[in-house]
Amino acid sequence: MQNNSPYYLLVFVCMGLMLFNALKKDKQLVHYLFALFCGSLCMVGAQKLSASSVGGYQYLIGLFTCATCNVSWLIARALFRENKPISRRHIVFAATIAGLIMFNQTWHYLVSFDPQPLPTSDIMWRLKQGVNEVTILLSSSILVLSFWEAIRGYSEKTVSQKMQSVLFASAWFLAVFNASVLPKLMFSKTEIELYNPIIITSSALLIVLAMQTLMFLQARDKNSQGIKNEGDTVSIFNDIEITENTNQHEQIDVAPELIDGIDQLINKQQLFLQTNLKISDFAQVLQVPEYKISRAIRYHYKVANFNLFINQYRVKYAQVLLASEDAKGWSILSIALESGFSSLATFNRVFKSIVGEIPNEYRKQSSNHPNIRGRELVD
């Protein structure tokens, strides 16, 4: 007799992680997607547990299992792609797979109560078989795409990013191998059916825990970078003083074409609005070494470092939005994301360090003194 107790573990763990990410204060896109993914896995466990007691109604529960492999692919993109990881076509692709899964569950629900639910049942049966094959094909393709997201551009990643890629790719490969290949190598058909709860639960939890671990690691890296940026901002006057003193004894020449290139990226292309922008991105576009850009920022623009240089433009852009009537209904989070910041906490911290007050206070002051704020932004 099949032991369904592993499904309780699946539901318990996924429910806990879903609530943890859904109730997280500083949520990003990946947290919403992960909460949706965990919720769908909860419904997988619930469907398996309720199959013997609710009969055909289990397939109604199965309608909510449509956000598994397709959403895991979106999560992989959100984890490993910094710039616009998810577009409309990605959502359409994921939604198509969800629709096919829901069609299959609806078919099983109808057949469970009436073996011939429609007059043209033979045609519908052929349609069902075709849809099932397409679903398997697309699901298999999306599993490969998820694995590809982890290893894409591996040689260009930092040590921390490489470790995260290896962790995700290894977990993903082991989960798929454990769910599909290993059981057929080790067990008979009867044994596979007997051990299916353990196989499904272990594979699902391997992916879930790997994703959650990666989110923790990436959050830690961002916090470390934020602390570094904050320290750089606090010491701005000291750094500028050191730079000015250095200029008194050493004349540094910065190529005019490099300055023109930086101005082009900042003022015309507004590259500072890109989230998680790095000095390496500038270097790649301008095709110059990173140290030359760093030197230009310190000696030409008289700014201590690249992060402060970019954040100053982001804050100026945010000031315009905060004082704008058109963006009056926007939330502070929306303005932060629109200005190139990756999170609300970072935006509040950087904005206050540069302007002297948090964005919400600045917006209130702008509404009370629009003319004064207008002159400040122009200046």
Domain boundaries, the chain: 5-225, 227-378
The reply to whether domains 5-225 and 227-378 share a CATH topology is no
CB 98 within 8 A of CB 70: yes
> What predicted TM-score, i.e. pTM, was given to this entire model?
0.61
Q: What is the CATH architecture of 5-225?
A: Up-down Bundle (1.20)
Q: How far is 174 from 143, CA to CA, in rounded Å?
A: 12
Q: How far is CA 75 from the centre of its chain?
A: 6
The Cα 58–Cα 52 span in angstroms is 9
Per-residue pLDDT tens listing for the chain (379 residues): 668 899 999 999 999 999 999 998 878 889 999 999 999 999 999 999 998 888 888 989 999 999 999 999 999 999 998 767 888 899 999 999 999 999 888 888 887 776 665 555 677 778 778 888 888 888 888 889 999 999 988 887 788 888 999 999 999 999 999 998 999 899 888 888 889 999 999 999 999 999 999 999 988 877 765 544 444 444 444 444 444 444 444 446 688 889 999 999 999 999 999 888 888 889 888 988 888 898 899 888 889 899 999 999 999 999 999 998 888 889 999 999 999 998 888 899 999 999 999 999 999 888 776 554 544 444 4
What is the CB-side half-sphere exposure of residue 91 using CA atoms within 13 A?
Answer: 6
Say if domain 227-378 classifies as CATH 1.10.10.60: yes
| Nearest Cα to Cα of residue 323 among 290, 258, 371, 257 | 371
Q: How far apart are the first and last CA of the chain?
A: 77
C-beta separation of 11 from 205 below 8 A: no
